[in-house]
Amino acid sequence: MIDAKTKVLGLLAHPIGHSLSPLIQNTLATVCGENVAYLPFEVKNPDELGAAIRGAHALGIAGFNVTVPYKEAVIPHLCGLSEEARLIGAVNTLVRTEEGYVGHNTDIAGMATMLARKNLRTEGAHILLLGAGGAARSAAVLAATGGAAELVILNRNTVRAEALAKAVRDINPSLTVRAAALEHWRELPGNDYLCIQCTSVGMWPNAEESIVEDPRFFEKISAAADIVYTPEETKISAPCARGGQAGRRRSRDADFPGRARLFALDGQAVHGGTGGRAPDACQRGASGLGKSGKKLAKSFCLS
C-alpha cells in the first residue's frame, strides 16, 4: 500500500506505452516486501529531458531506468557515471545521490545472462551487430571483453558504426572489428554469425518492420538475438526460432526473446535504487507468487 514512506522509482522513455517494466518492477516489489512504486515517465520532447531530471531530483524520486531514446542523451544531466556506463557511453539506470543522479549500465550483464540462458557464449563467436546506438555499444563491449573471435558492426549511419568500432578496438586491440553500411551483410563470408539486433526496428506498434527484409540474410547467421521485447518474436528472431532453412542449424538455441533480457535487466537495474533487491530477485520473486508467478516467469522465458 502506498503511504508517506513509499519510495518512488520510474522509467524514462519515449514512447512508453508498450513497456512491461512497471508490471515487472511492481510485481517484484510486492513479492520482496518493498515499499516501492514504479511508474512510467514519458518525456516526449528531448529538449525537456534536463528539466525532467532536475525536477525528479527536486521531488525526491529515488531512481530510474532509462531506455530508448535517452540512454546517451541523459548523460550530460547526470552528476556521475559508473565504470560500466563510462565504458559503454550509455546508461540504463539512474541512482539518486544528494548531488544528483549517477548513471549506471546493466546492459552488459543482462545481455550476457540472456545468452547464457540459451547456452550460447560470446567466446570464440563471430558476432554480427545490427545498430550502433546505446544497446549496440553494450553488445559490442560484451564482445570485446567476452572473448569473441570477430565483431562486425553494420549500421545505416556508417559514421556511428566506425565510431563504435574504434571504441571497441580501444578496449580490445586484438579483436578483429569491422564496421560497414547495413547492406554490407551481403558481402559477409561464412554462414555462422551470431546476430544481435540492437535497434528499435520491429518494436510494437511497428512489429511488421524489419531492419533486414531479404530472406537470404538468414543464410549468413546461425543464431539471432533481438533486444526488442514487444512482440516476443520479431522478424529477426522468429525465423531462427522456426528453423528449417539454411543458416538455422541451431534454431533450438537461436531464439532469444527480448523479454528474457528485459527480465534479466530489471532484476539488476533498480536494486541499486531500492538498496535491497538482489540481481536474481526476478527469479525468486516470480517463484514466490505461486501459480501466477510461474505463469509470469514462463512468459518471460525463466521457467
Query: Which residues participate in catalysis according to the annotation?
Result: 71
- Are the C-beta atoms of 161 and 155 separated by less than 8 Å? yes
The answer to whether the peptide bond before residue 40 is cis (omega within 30 degrees of 0) is no
Strand pairing report for 101-104 and 93-96: antiparallel
> In Å, what is the CA distance from 23 to each residue of 12, 177, 242, 263?
15, 39, 29, 11
Question: Which of 234, 227, 236 has the alpha carbon at shortest distance from 182?
Answer: 236
Report the alpha-carbon distance of residue 294 to residue 291 in Å, rounded: 5
**Which residues are 155's β-sheet partners?**
181
Strand pairing report for 80-81 and 93-96: unpaired
> In Å, what is the CA distance from 243 to each residue of 112, 238, 250?
23, 9, 8
- The grid coordinates of residue 259 equal 523479454
